[in-house]
C-alpha cells in the first residue's frame, strides 16, 4: 500500500485506535501501556495499534 518509508511512518508510527469509538490518536507506546492516555471523544483508555494496509475505502 505505502510506496515509501516516510509515508508509512507518517500514517502508522505511534498511531492507536480507541476500541470503543474507533478514534485515531497518536501517542508513545509507554502512555498506552500505562493507560495514561484518554480518548478525546469518549474518554476511555482502551487502545489498539492501527492495522497497516486497511483504510476506510478498503484494501486496494
Please tell me the distance from the alpha carbon of residue 50 to that of residue 22, in angstroms, as a whole number.
10
Enter the pTM of the model: 0.77
52/14 Cα distance (integer angstroms):
12
- pLDDT for position 50: 92
Domains, the chain, ordered by start? 5-49 (2.20.28)
Closest listed residue to residue 27, CA positions, set 42, 43, 19, 39: 39
Dihedral Cα 47, 51, 57, 60, nearest 10 deg: 180
pLDDT tens digit sequence for 11-43: 889 999 999 999 999 999 999 999 999 999 999
Amino acid at each position: 500500500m505505502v510506496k515509501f518509508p516516510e509515508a508509512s511512518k507518517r500514517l502508522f508510527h505511534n498511531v492507536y485506535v480507541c476500541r470503543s469509538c474507533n478514534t485515531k490518536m497518536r501517542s508513545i507506546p509507554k502512555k498506552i501501556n500505562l493507560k495514561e492516555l484518554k480518548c478525546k471523544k469518549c474518554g476511555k483508555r482502551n487502545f489498539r495499534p492501527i492495522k497497516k494496509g486497511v483504510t476506510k475505502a478498503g484494501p486496494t
